[in-house]
Amino acid sequence: MKFKNGIAATAVLVLLVAGCTASDEDTGAPDAGSVDWAPCLSEDELDEAPERGGDPDWLQDLECGTVAVPLDHADPDGSTVELALTRRPADGPADERIGSLVLNPGGPGESGVAMLDHPLFDERIQDAFDLVGFDPRGVGESEGIACGDWYAMDEARRAVTDPGDVTDADLAALEESARAYADDCAQTVGEDFLANMGTVNVVRDLDLIRGALGDEQLTFVGFSYGTYIGALYAEMFPENTRALVLDGAVETERPNVEIAADQADAFQTTWDLFVAECLSGPGCPFSGSDAADAEMGELLDRLDAEPPVVRDMPVDGVTLLGMVSLQLYHEDAWADLTEALAAVAEDPAQAGPELERLYDDTYGQDEEPAEDGEPAPTEPGDSGEPGPEFGGPDTEAALTAVNCADRVDPTDPDVYRDTAQRAAGDSPFFGTGLVWEQLPCAYWVDTEEAPTGFSAPDAPPILVIGTVGDPATPYTWAEELSDQLATATLLTYEGNGHTAYGYGMSCVDEAVDAYLLEGEVPQAGLSCPAW
């Protein structure tokens, strides 16, 4: 969950669908028409923008609109969903503009509308493209769903005293909270809506958005989970595809519980990279790489025994670990993370100022505790970003709904227990929460079966980006996706963090810009050095 230059790219447990082509999916869905754009903000809101960290010169150009799409694309005359869009028109001369560049920040559950609240990309991209963000169905302003008791699931996870040895009683409590979550969502949101939350329907919506924008072909940048949207679009609508950048690629074939285990390994790898960087400089609280995990465990125990209060909230070990997991997403925050951990190691009672800076950097200075003094979700698998996009329980509902809709998941809770226990051994700090968050999928409503094995053979060249030290979408997933998609080229960023495009790394940005602007595909095997 990296938030630089306004770009949010979310850590996700992503699902994938495939195997269907545009002709297979021709359901006769109505044309979405055009978008009636209007200014997003009033004059009073623009005047208040600097107080909230916004740039009035950027925000005053934002336009908002909606597109109506069928809830069920097989029933185009039935119920509809109003999708929210935001656009920043291109700055360049009309005869030099290419069209729309549609964006997705990840998730599932993150807002593409909010993504445009801050400046994005360099001037060449801003001159050539109308930048367009949209909230997928069930997210944010697109009839966003809110359901389930996230805190009950979190409480059940925290009650497990030995993550490596989950008892039958532990499992029963976890199962009860997950089943209740799924049941509440079915009752609150409705089974029909949940059954149509999958990415295959987001892709169908995206093609209607493309038409409503007046673009003959789609130009798209998807981060994290957004790479799944883009990859599936290439399979379903190849003739409507111009250029797709898939940054922080996701895995497309396996159940969510297995994907969670992959992410646990990736978080542990990035944690180890952080420890190595910490040890290479001054002030690191760890005595060595082999001792770091044990020393971090002791540090977390000290916080549990004596949690300082930050932003009216006690920061215990779980809360700190949540902030650490999010800070692993962006390498330029690691120096401040080292400082905060060193302060806690020296004296938890006196570490308030450093922890407050870490809290503000992670969640945004205006973020309030979710309710009853509880922090917003902080497990690394949760949807969330530092800054205004940071997800909460409502975002968790959309993430769960899409993930459960997209993949075929096991229904035996023992599978989740076995996987969580293995993850606890492989990644003691980050593994188990990622796995247990998938348990509601064992009890989810029936959805459209998610096809697999797609390769988009008829699509134009596609650009996949992978970061070697990515904690949320392992680099191996980028390799797999670039091999899977017949026309894809892989660009490798050798640094750490989640996603790479648009953050000022010239090697990455120049290659991607050339592809978006001119259709120039980077040389196969291009590898960009760490920032």
Active site residues: 224, 470, 498
Write down the H helix ranges in 119-255. Answer: 123-128, 150-158, 168-189, 191-195, 199-213, 225-236
* Distance separating alpha carbons of residues 165 and 421, to the nearest angstrom: 6
Q: Which two tokens stand for residue 256?
A: 């969510």
482, two tokens: 């670039």
Which one, of 471, 164, 223, 154, lies nearest residue 325 by Cα?
A: 471
Q: What stretches of 84-122 show up as alpha helix (H) in DSSP?
A: 112-115
What's the token pair of residue 44?
Answer: 């009073």
Residue 102's beta-bridge partner residues? Answer: 132, 220
446 neighbors 476 (Cβ within 8 angstroms): no
DSSP state of 307: P
Distance between CA atoms of 254 and 295, rounded to whole angstroms? 35
The answer to whether 285 and 274 are in contact (CB under 8 A) is no
Contact 73, 201 (CB under 8 A): yes
Q: Is 57 in contact with 490 (CB distance < 8 Å)?
A: no
Please name the amino acid found at residue 146. A
Of 503, 524, 481, nearest in space to 244 by CA? 481
Retrieve residue 422's tokens: 């293995």
Q: What are phi and psi of 62, to 5 degrees?
A: -75, 135
Name residues whose C-beta falls within 8 Å of residue 407's C-beta, 6 or more positions apart in sequence: 15, 16, 254, 255, 256, 259, 441, 450
